[in-house]
Amino acid sequence: MNIVHIPRRFTRQDWGGTETVVLETCKRLLRMGHRTEILCPNALAQNDYELIDGVPVRRVSYFYPYWRLRPEAKRQLDKKGGNLFSFALMKALWKYPHLDLIHLHTMKRLGGIGRYVARRRGIP
């Protein structure tokens, strides 16, 4: 199976419980012979692509739909609970070849993007 995991963010610098669960799930899926990748916004990240413990992590651009959001306010939203949006994530999911499963580890706008693309592509 080809499986994409979508957390709200995924960085070593701001590691938490969600990141641990997502990474361990991906590592076990790889050992079982599945193809898996983490696809997320590049919030708080240093680079757009990284391999962590054998798991590919691809990051895409995002934004907050708020007028005149200051950098320090954006960083606070990135760190905790920000409801971001990403056209790049939607495009990446649409173009992802032979995708069998979209596993969401987030809700709000990103979760909505994942659910919308999954429904339109007929993917669970």
Residue 106: which CATH number?
Answer: 3.40.50.2000
- For residue 66, the enclosing domain spans 2-121
pLDDT digits (tens, 9 = 90+) for 95-118: 999 999 999 999 999 999 999 999
pTM above 0.85, yes or no: yes
Distance CA 53, CA 14 (A): 17
Number of domains in the chain: 1
pLDDT over 90 (residue 10): yes
